[in-house]
Structure 1
Amino acid sequence: MGKKWRYGVILDAGSSGTRLHIYRWQDPEKALKEALKKGTTEALASLPKIMTEKKWTKKIRPGVSTFGEKASAVGPDHLQSLVDHALQYIPPEKIKDTPIFLMATAGMRLLPQVQQTALTHEICSYLRKNTDFSLPDCDLHIQVIKGETEGLYGWIASNYLLGGFDNPSRHQHGKGHHTYGFLDMGGASAQIAFAPNSTEAEKHANDLKLLRLRTLNGSPIEYNVFTTTWLGFGVNQARESYVENLEELYGADASAELPDPCLPKGLRTTLDGTLMQDAKSAKSKPTIIGTGAFDECLKQTYPLLGKDKPCDDKPCLINGQHVPAIDFDVNHFIGVSEYWHTTHGVFGENSGDKAYDFATYQKRVKDFCGQDWTAIKSQIDGRKAKNQYAVKDAQEACFKASWLINVLHDGIGVPRLGMENMPPKVNVSKGALENAKDKGFLEPFQPVDKIEGIEVSWTLGKMVLYASGQIPPQSGDDSLPVGFGSNLVGVSSSKHNIPPDFQFAGSSWKPFAGHHYKGNATEHEDDDWNLDADELLKKGASSSTGFFVFLGLVILLMYWFRKRDRRARLYTRVNSFVKRSKRQGGVGGGKSGGPFSNFTSKIFGSGRQSAYERVAAMEEGAADQFELGDVDSSLDDSDSSDAASGSSGISSSSRFGGAGARQQSLPSLSALDRSGLVVRTESRERLMLPPFSQGGVGRRSRAGSPTRMKSPLMSPLDER
């Protein structure tokens, strides 16, 4: 299609598997040119538009962390299939300019540091040797990221998809707040990220991260975001801790049966969750047996939150972790990963619900978990479309639901509200309400999987940051680089005070062809193209305004001249002006009438004498007093018959003896006077076009009267 595209590849190395993501966006210069054409502040102040497709993702199991003791096998046995998939969709000529990242999360964080280092080195070496992707810095492209970083990337992705960055005015939640909070929960860890309200942001400034992005016009935008992680508080790690508590409570010898209220009634598993198939195998090892008592399950999972841990500075949420106070009036959170799967998987797959309603959700969980396992298993076996993970999901659903409810409401403090119980003090703008009411994003919490068809993943946030870093800054230097770091005082206003822990986006920018930088503006040799937002808007507005003015004039002229009498009237005036100018040596002087006369001929007709010219030739000087449009053309067919019979003997000299004669006689005539009727009729005959045989354009009357030619000056309503 002739468009310039950039591509990026990210491998999300999680605890349960590795997922490939391919993203695409326009070359920054191309994107800015298109924003200029739109000529709006919104277009120029937007971030690069990142695109992806479902077929561009692929997940394989198990995770990279399983190769901790066999690092040399991670390339051929794990990564190569993902690389091959990426090569199917990225154009060959783009490979060398396409960055590849592998970012490992909680699963790798649990490995010893020596195994983490061995794996990251092996992965970078393998990708460099076996692919042509751009991988200039191993430490930046292949790394185990912190939970705080994962949360920040997720926060970027969420607000990018919801429009909080590009359209702040349409996402006002009250108190000057327009961004959304982000919650993520995987198998091993959970994250939270949000921008506190102004009061809390000032109070906890040192606990926040400074995030800087760059819009298409080269302007930096900054946010102060709080983000933290709870390692060991993902659903799988929480389940392991829960089982350990059961062992301590009931004992774990070979014949022990540990009652578990968080499993469906009658379900038997080993300590690691493997299904017990028969009674013999059940006697050979400790057994967990489900009792299906969900209220008891909630009570037994609550202590895992660590709410009794020492807290140095309140408020503390989970495991003694201090968090700025969350104002749920303006902080509206979205939850991804397990927050979505646990609410919309087993319990909500057929409900079609978009919003999270605590009361409805808890009722569904209780109904499901109170069933006998044999009934649940028969329902799964009876499905036409079978999912290989369906049994596993049903087995784990009750514990996951109890853990999510505890984390969400008792840990983080999200109000137990449904959409119909929106607190009256919630202050939102009309625009935000209209944009979010169908998605439920005005709720204190809303689980999501996709927004506008794009999966909400922290990997998208990383790619938004990378693409943003490819845009040249307005000042022409990188004194305000794209990335994030500690929220040091004065960073946003100082050109060179970059936090020591600042993590750069990993991308580089190049000046656009023909640009030079002057002061705080970016200029271009071509005056039609400038990176300064105000100048771009002025040029875009003036060019678009000029076009619409011209288009409006054309439409107006076409509308005005659609009737012949109007064309004739204008021609008469123009032609009279030309002739007077010719006599006086004015416009187009000379006998020929000059170029202006030729111009009028091209516009209104050929060079031969037309009916309009003969009309205009009547008594020069009288044109100003005799308007063609004033001729009465309202006579019906009976009037036409009378006129055609030639019954009047009034001479032309008496009728048109001059301007003064007309002015004296015509006003005195009555429309009902016989002589007046003749005068008006004869006047029409004087204005008739010549017969068709003489070059006229007349046609016969529909009546049986002698042939008469209709005047081109008659209005459409008279031509019946």
Structure 2
Amino acid sequence: MGRISFSCLFPASWHFSLSPQLLPRILIPSFRQLIFISLVFCLIGLLYLVLVIGKGHVSWIARENHFHRHLARVTDVDVTDTSNPNLNYGLVVDCGSSGSRVFVYCWPRHNGNPHELLDIRQMRDQHRKPVVMKIKPGISELAKTPEKASDYIYPLLSFAAQHIPKNKHQETPLYILCTAGMRVLPESQQEAILEDLRTDIPVHFKFLFSDSHVEVISGKQEGVYAWIGINFVLGRFNHGDNGGEAEVEVHVPSSDQQDTLRRKRTAGVLDMGGVSTQIAYEVPKTEEVAKNLLAEFNLGCDAHRTEHVYRVYVSTFLGFGGNAARQRYEENLIQKTVIRNKLLGEHVGETAESPLLDPCLPTDLEDQIGTSTERLYLRGTGDFDQCRQILQPFLNRTNDTQSSLNGVYQPAIDYSNSQFYGFSEFYYCTEDVLRMGGDYNASKYAAAAKGYCATKWKTLQERFDSGLYASHADYHRLKYQCFKSAWMYEVFHSGFSFPTNYKNLKTALLVYEKEVQWTLGAILYRTRFLPLRDIQQESLKGTHSHWRHSFSFVNNHYLFLACFFIVLLSIILYLLRLRRIHRLAVKRYTPSSVPWLEEGLVTPMLPITL
């Protein structure tokens, strides 16, 4: 038999050759070698499983989490993507005393986390403007013609319908909520207007609209909605990560015990309009408050969870708004002056030559109040401190502790751990002419107001004409700024009893560049159970969906590993078979031939026969 030469693979000095009988013994591994080879391949496979599949699975989870985070976030300034099938819509019509406005809101499908609320934002058009439309006059003007109510509201709903995809109309809730203007009407007239809306709107529009979706809300409801709106925009309902924000300890009711939670501190709301003033803030469970002054509600979608249970004190004071207070003040001036003139036989205020001095008007400002039969001429003296003193009786406070405007009970406020936002007149009084909107400082505000009041009216007019004041300020603001600044100061510090060193009031028109309306709080509260639908749908398909996504991702990897181990097993079996064949072959050799196979690499020299 021939020999196999390896001289081509090694240097010449290493020249050697093998017989074919010796080759299988060298190439066939031992049993220990087989075990070692198997372990090495297994470790390679496990390493692949951990590094490749594990990494891929984590990245898949990350992509899923990113998807849900993206799904649960609607940007505030971007154009609303109406082609997004996961976007939902809602409408709120605010029927106020001077007019009505429709607000279009939108939110993505709920992310399935029962701890989180819907992420509701105002819808924005292609110009990035909020989708809002206003009409005048107020719906209360239809008191004698209630059959025209649906015609009155039609332009608002038609406007909203054009912005919402038609295939979404049937699942878009519509709420028509009427406020102060309708409250003053007799109940029969209110109901006639509401009934016309309930009957005719479903005929012309396919929105999700039921009888309970149109009503006259109370001042208490309006206050609660305003409180919800501002705290939602501020992110105070996000309890997952407080991010270093101030916290409070709250006690909320549960099924069997009193739970104690620590969560973000909510902000209180102060709102002074033209007619009324309002205050709303969260109170602890331990504080006993009359039911007519307390709103206790759960903003969460699951009634069994308590992290979104809130107790809010809210009180509305009619006649304590800036314009209404000025009207009461003027009526009082007329009444007292008329009586005084009769008693003393004087004619103060009856002519422009003998005006009544008014410390609540800027210096040298001349004004006329009353009717033609009881006209009173005024001249301002611009004395801020005296004006404050005169206005204190108009607060109607009592000597009771924890009493507020009109003697209404007010729960204690933890001034060291609280925050309030002041809207409407609280902002206008500090910003329009004083240019001090934002963080409120009582001493600086009082000094600025005192200086304004003492300034001559002619100088104030020159400043106004030079554009030194806010763009929306007008002569009415200029005339009554002194009075309103004193009234706001007294309401805040004497009426609501905030100390003059209180540092946590922020007066604002916009929050995060958005005008905060009570309608946002209204739709958030009224749609709070909608996430249950998405959560239930997620729970039904969640397991199958997770398995399907997981399998689709790792399927190819597991198939590769299966083929890998099958090939490895085949190699091992093949080598074992070669080993067995080799042993059988060795047994067939004669004993004389065995020694040279075992003892050396070169065959022995055989005797030569001549």
State whether residues 246 and 258 of structure 1, in contact with CA within 8 Å, keep that contact through their aligned partners in structure 2.
no
AA of the residue aligned to 1:183: L
State whether residues 302 and 529 of structure 2, in contact with CA within 8 Å, keep that contact through their aligned partners in structure 1.
no
Q: How far off is 1:141 after superposition?
A: 2.4
Q: How far off is 1:307 after superposition?
A: 0.5
- Say if 1:142 and 1:208 are closer, same or farther in 2 by CA, change over 3 A: same
SS of alignment partner, residue 19 of structure 1: strand
Aligned pair partner of 2:546 in 528, 551, 559: 528
Aligned pair partner of 2:209 in 116, 135, 145: 135
Cα deviations across residues 161-218 of structure 1 (Å, max 9, x unaligned)? 2222113644434554622222222222222222224543xx4486643211225999
Aligned to 2:500: 416
- Say if 1:106 and 1:272 are closer, same or farther in 2 by CA, change over 3 A: farther
State whether residues 331 and 370 of structure 2, in contact with CA within 8 Å, keep that contact through their aligned partners in structure 1.
no
Q: Does 1:55 align with 2:130?
A: yes
- Say if 1:60 and 1:357 are closer, same or farther in 2 by CA, change over 3 A: farther
Aligned to 1:375: 459
Q: Distance in 1 between matches of 2:326 and 2:456?
A: 21
- Say if 1:588 and 1:270 are closer, same or farther in 2 by CA, change over 3 A: farther
- Say if 1:283 and 1:323 are closer, same or farther in 2 by CA, change over 3 A: closer
Aligned to 1:46: 116
Unaligned residue ranges in structure 2 (runs of 5+):
1-82, 250-261, 340-346, 558-566, 580-610
Q: Does 1:228 align with 2:315?
A: yes
- Say if 1:388 and 1:343 are closer, same or farther in 2 by CA, change over 3 A: closer
SS of alignment partner, residue 464 of structure 2: helix
Q: How far off is 1:60 after superposition?
A: 4.3
State whether residues 368 and 375 of structure 2, in contact with CA within 8 Å, keep that contact through their aligned partners in structure 1.
yes
AA of the residue aligned to 2:421: I
Aligned to 1:7: 89
Cα deviations across residues 528-586 of structure 1 (Å, max 9, x unaligned)? 29xxxxxxxxx99xx99x9xxx9xxxxxxxxxxxxxxxxxxxxxxxxxxx99x969945
Q: Distance in 2 between matches of 1:184 and 1:249?
A: 31
Q: How far off is 1:223 after superposition?
A: 1.8
Q: How far off is 1:389 after superposition?
A: 5.9
- Say if 1:209 and 1:265 are closer, same or farther in 2 by CA, change over 3 A: same
Q: Distance in 2 between matches of 1:4 and 1:231?
A: 43
Q: How far off is 1:462 after superposition?
A: 0.9
SS of alignment partner, residue 422 of structure 2: strand
AA of the residue aligned to 2:455: Q
Aligned to 1:161: 233
Q: Distance in 2 between matches of 1:247 and 1:589?
A: 122
AA of the residue aligned to 2:118: P
- Say if 1:127 and 1:402 are closer, same or farther in 2 by CA, change over 3 A: farther
Q: Distance in 2 between matches of 1:88 and 1:461?
A: 24
SS of alignment partner, residue 544 of structure 2: coil
AA of the residue aligned to 1:209: A
State whether residues 301 and 530 of structure 2, in contact with CA within 8 Å, keep that contact through their aligned partners in structure 1.
no
Structure 1 residues 347-366: aligned runs within 5 Å: 347-348=434-435, 354-366=438-450
51-60 or 214-223, which moves further after superposition?
214-223
- Say if 1:157 and 1:55 are closer, same or farther in 2 by CA, change over 3 A: closer
> What is the number of residues matched between the two proteins?
454
Q: CA RMSD in A?
A: 4.2
Aligned to 1:424: none
Cα deviations across residues 585-633 of structure 1 (Å, max 9, x unaligned)? 459999xxxxxxxxxxxxxxxxxxxxxxxxxxxxxxxxxxxxxxxxxxx
Aligned pair partner of 1:94 in 168, 173, 183: 168
Aligned to 1:396: 480
Aligned to 2:299: 213
Q: Distance in 2 between matches of 1:65 and 1:583?
A: 92
Cα deviations across residues 409-464 of structure 1 (Å, max 9, x unaligned)? 11111222264xxxxxxxxxxxxxxxxxxxxxxx1x22223333332222111111
Structure 1 residues 533-612: aligned runs within 5 Å: 585-586=574-575
Structure 1 residues 287-686: aligned runs within 5 Å: 287-308=377-398, 314-348=401-435, 354-383=438-467, 390-417=474-501, 419=503, 443=504, 445-472=505-532, 509=533, 512-513=536-537, 515=539, 524=542, 526=544, 528=546, 585-586=574-575
Aligned to 1:535: none
Q: How far off is 1:69 after superposition?
A: 4.7
Q: Distance in 2 between matches of 1:75 and 1:377?
A: 46
Q: How far off is 1:89 after superposition?
A: 2.6
Aligned to 2:283: 196
Q: Distance in 1 between matches of 2:479 and 2:468?
A: 20
State whether residues 14 and 106 of structure 1, in contact with CA within 8 Å, keep that contact through their aligned partners in structure 2.
yes
Q: TM-score, normalised by structure 2?
A: 0.64
State whether residues 114 and 300 of structure 2, in contact with CA within 8 Å, keep that contact through their aligned partners in structure 1.
no
Cα deviations across residues 387-414 of structure 1 (Å, max 9, x unaligned)? 5762222233222222211111111112
143-152 or 445-454, which moves further after superposition?
445-454
- Say if 1:120 and 1:259 are closer, same or farther in 2 by CA, change over 3 A: farther
SS of alignment partner, residue 209 of structure 1: strand
Q: Distance in 2 between matches of 1:124 and 1:292?
A: 53
Aligned to 1:265: 363
Q: Distance in 2 between matches of 1:131 and 1:525?
A: 38
State whether residues 388 and 490 of structure 2, in contact with CA within 8 Å, keep that contact through their aligned partners in structure 1.
yes
SS of alignment partner, residue 336 of structure 1: strand
State whether residues 432 and 469 of structure 2, in contact with CA within 8 Å, keep that contact through their aligned partners in structure 1.
no
Aligned pair partner of 2:182 in 89, 92, 108: 108
Q: How far off is 1:284 after superposition?
A: 9.7
Q: Distance in 2 between matches of 1:88 and 1:385?
A: 39
83-92 or 160-169, which moves further after superposition?
83-92
AA of the residue aligned to 1:448: A
AA of the residue aligned to 1:297: C
Q: Distance in 2 between matches of 1:229 and 1:208?
A: 12
AA of the residue aligned to 2:175: F
Cα deviations across residues 28-59 of structure 1 (Å, max 9, x unaligned)? 3xx33xxxxxxxxxx65221101114432344
Q: Distance in 1 between matches of 2:468 and 2:431?
A: 20
Q: How far off is 1:525 after superposition?
A: 5.4
State whether residues 124 and 142 of structure 1, in contact with CA within 8 Å, keep that contact through their aligned partners in structure 2.
yes
- Say if 1:347 and 1:209 are closer, same or farther in 2 by CA, change over 3 A: same
State whether residues 285 and 311 of structure 2, in contact with CA within 8 Å, keep that contact through their aligned partners in structure 1.
no
SS of alignment partner, residue 104 of structure 2: strand
Q: TM-score, normalised by structure 1?
A: 0.55
AA of the residue aligned to 1:261: P
- Say if 1:272 and 1:117 are closer, same or farther in 2 by CA, change over 3 A: farther
Aligned to 1:435: none
SS of alignment partner, residue 249 of structure 1: helix
Cα deviations across residues 73-98 of structure 1 (Å, max 9, x unaligned)? 5555x544433443443233333332
State whether residues 93 and 176 of structure 2, in contact with CA within 8 Å, keep that contact through their aligned partners in structure 1.
yes
Q: How far off is 1:346 after superposition?
A: 2.6
Q: Distance in 1 between matches of 2:319 and 2:575?
A: 95
- Say if 1:22 and 1:400 are closer, same or farther in 2 by CA, change over 3 A: farther
AA of the residue aligned to 2:365: L
SS of alignment partner, residue 528 of structure 1: helix
Q: How far off is 1:526 after superposition?
A: 2.0
Aligned to 1:82: 156
AA of the residue aligned to 1:355: D
Aligned to 2:338: 251
Q: Distance in 2 between matches of 1:114 and 1:382?
A: 52
